[in-house]
Amino acid sequence: MLRLHGLVKRYRTGDLALKNIDLEVPQGQVMALIGPSGAGKSTLIRCINRLVEPTDGKVYLKDLELTALSKRALRHARRRMGMIFQEYALVERLSVMENVLSGRLGYTGFWRSFFRRYPQADIDEAFRLLERVGLVDMVDKRADELSGGQRQRVGIARALIQNPEVLLVDEPTASLDPKTSRQIMRLICELCEERNLAAIINIHDVLLAEMFARRIVGLQLGEIVYDGPPGGLTPDALTQIYGEEDWEATIEKVDEEDLTDEERAERVRLMGGH
Amino acid sequence: MSQTGEPRTWKRPPFIQNARLRWGLWLGAAVYLTLAFGTLEVDWGRVVEGVPRGQRFIASFFPPDFLSRWEEIFDGIYESLWMTVTSTVIGVALSIPVGLGAARNLSPTPVYLACRAIVALSRTFPEIILAIFFVKLFGFGPFAGFLALSLATIGFYGKLLAEDIEAMDPVQAEAVKATGASWFQWLNYAVQPQVLPRMIGLGLYRFDINFRESAVVGIVGGGGIGATLLTSFDRYEFDSAAAILLIIIAIVMGVEYTSGFVRRWVQ
């Protein structure tokens, strides 16, 4: 579904953020991308939809080479990639409905979007999604009136109304409390399963990553140093990703597949994890 | 470390480390100020003579006479308001493209430099100089005043719009871009909501400035209430001049109050 070949990003300051990344994410796979701050996680997902221009290498969405697209073709390709942001990135002075409908901008003509006259099908879909994320009563509230968890739900609805094939998720839980974090991660994973979406989720919380993703990729100074199931995250692997630290408390000891989400959450609570 | 020995002292380190330079700057400033005040040459005799003359002058403003020159006053105010409304609307409309171009995070460098140059040029000249210039070009009357105020508005509003856009939250803008929005949709959904409330407030503030400046440009031939005010001074009709000044004060206060109210409402 999504393939990265020899992706390199060097910022104008000379910092080499990504060194020759090769990565493939098949359809329906939720992949967590972990690593310390500054490892290049945000840069990596922004190189996919070219909010950041890669310096070298190729990115394919199915058979489409994203890195070769003209500006106009890139806008069309961006419609197929939903993005969810750290700190939600809602336009704060727009209403919940306008924020959700802004996910349709790539499909809508300028004047239609300017006068907020979206096609009925888009309005229906927006209401369906807001119902799904539990915010249907908030339609005309301004985005800055919502709580953090609610805002991220709007962010999720905005990404999904694009009808994307891939979700790019950048630290979705970074500013949420532990309980809301899990709810949001669970919602994202459920929606990916319902729609058979591939997703790359940047996350610095290792426990959350282990809890929700079946594949974990560890990034360290712009290089992939781990790629495997959550069970393979041994203290050695974590040391390689993050550096020397006592990792015993971070590692899941029971086979994850046997637990329900609630049980996992309970265990994490008992372990004092966050 | 233990508590033995004398207590350790601390003083805030001076802003200029070099003591000689620090005291030299103080001394230089003192000498310059003494010399500058020395050149003022106040003639106290004339000040004493001037005080009663000033009292008589101010007394002649009272009571203000609204009636005997009412038609001229009304025409002047009407012309000034007309000038204010048109120059604010046209100036703000023209400063939107200039402001977008002058925002570094929006525009490529050549466009940025060109728009910044327009802003700088228009801000270099105060309204009164622009008005003198346009009166020479297009003759006496409100058209020259209108042009002067419009041009001044572009510099003022374009600069503030550009700075507001540069200070916007880049993540909100990025999020809208990631949906595949076109450039104009992006402006409408990501940039406009972030800058609009402040820009409405500034537009009203500029309206207020343009009204006050319309009185000034009138004095150099740009039409409006300024021309009427100058005429009444020339004719020594200080009571009519007082009436004009009171009307200007009332209108400025009215606009001020309204703009404050609207600004609270759009936030």
User: Residue range A66-83: average pLDDT?
Assistant: 91
On average, the pLDDT of chain B sits at: 87
Q: What's residue B239's pLDDT?
A: 84
Among A105, A160, A161, which would you mutate to test the B interface (most chain B Cβ atoms within 10 Å of its Cβ)? A105
3-state helix, strand, coil in chain A (%, to 5): 45, 20, 35
User: Residue range B35-40: average pLDDT?
Assistant: 87
Main-chain dihedrals φ then ψ at residue A34, nearest 5 degrees = -110, 165
If residue A167 lies in a helix (H) or strand (E), which one and from where to where?
A: strand A166-170
Q: CB distance A83–B175 less than 8 Å?
A: yes
If residue A262 lies in a helix (H) or strand (E), which one and from where to where?
A: helix A261-271
Instruction: Find where tokens 């229906």 sit.
Output: A124
Q: Is the dihedral of CA B90, B93, B99, B101 positive or negative?
A: negative
Give domain limits for chain A.
2-271
Q: What's residue A230's pLDDT?
A: 86
Name the DSSP letter for residue A95. B
Q: Which residue has the higher pLDDT, A175 or A68?
A: A68
Q: CB distance A81–B194 less than 8 Å?
A: no
Q: What's residue B4's pLDDT?
A: 64
A206: its two tokens = 């290792």
Cis peptide upstream of residue B63 (ω within 30 degrees of 0): yes
User: Residue range A5-12: average pLDDT?
Assistant: 89
User: Residue range A78-88: average pLDDT?
Assistant: 91
Are A224 and A218 a contacting pair, CB within 8 Å? yes
Count how many Cα atoms sit within 13 Å of the Cα of residue B177 in the half-sphere of its side chain.
15
Domains of chain B: 75-266 (1.10.3720.10)
Q: Which residue has the higher pLDDT, B264 or A259?
A: B264
Residues from B in contact with A at Cβ < 8 Å? 169, 171-172, 174-182, 184-186, 188-190, 193-194, 196-197
Pairs of CB atoms within 8 A across A/B: 83
Of the partner residues A85, A106, A155, the one whose CB lies closest to the CB of residue B181: A106
User: Residue range B49-67: average pLDDT?
Assistant: 82
User: Residue range A210-227: average pLDDT?
Assistant: 89
Is residue A273's pLDDT more than 50? no
Distances (CA, A) of A215 to A160, A230, A232, A241, B163: 22, 6, 10, 15, 45
Of the partner residues B171, B181, B182, the one whose CB lies closest to the CB of residue A87: B171
Q: What's residue B178's pLDDT?
A: 92
User: By CB neighbour count within 10 A (0-12 exposed, 13-18 middle, 19+ buried), where does A243 fall?
Assistant: exposed
Q: Pairing relation of β-strands A2-10 and A56-61?
A: antiparallel
Strands, sheet with A64-65, edge to edge from the N-terminal-most edge strand: A16-25, A2-10, A56-61, A64-65
Q: CB distance B190–A83 less than 8 Å?
A: no
Q: How far is A223 from chain B (nearest CA, A)?
A: 25
Is residue A233's pLDDT more than 90? no
Q: CB distance A91–B177 less than 8 Å?
A: no
Per-residue pLDDT tens digits for B25-37: 999 999 999 999 8
Q: How far is B114 from chain A (nearest CA, A)?
A: 24
Q: Is A105 helix (H, G, I), strand (E, B) or coil?
A: helix
In chain A, the residue whose alpha carbon lies closest to the alpha carbon of B266 is A93
User: Residue range A121-148: average pLDDT?
Assistant: 91
In chain A, the residue whose alpha carbon lies closest to the alpha carbon of B190 is A91
Q: How far is B194 from chain A (nearest CA, A)?
A: 7
- In Å, the largest CA–CA distance within chain B is 89
Which of A99-113, B103-117, B134-148, B158-172 is the least confident region? B134-148
Burial annotation B175-208 (CB, 10 A radius, 16+ → b, else e) = bbbbbbbbeebbbbbbbbbbbeebbbbbbbbbbb
Amino acid at A39: A
Per-residue pLDDT tens digits for B194-249: 999 888 888 888 888 888 888 888 888 877 788 888 888 888 888 888 888 888 88
pLDDT level of residue A155 (50, 70, 90 thresholds): very high
Are A156 and A191 a contacting pair, CB within 8 Å? yes
Specify which of A29-33, B78-82, B141-145 reaches the highest per-range mean pLDDT.
Answer: A29-33
On average, the pLDDT of chain A sits at: 86
What is the CATH code for A2-271?
3.40.50.300
Percent of chain A with pLDDT over 70: 91
Is residue A161's pLDDT more than 90? yes
Q: How far is A33 from chain B (nearest CA, A)?
A: 20
Of the partner residues A49, A90, A92, the one whose CB lies closest to the CB of residue B178: A49
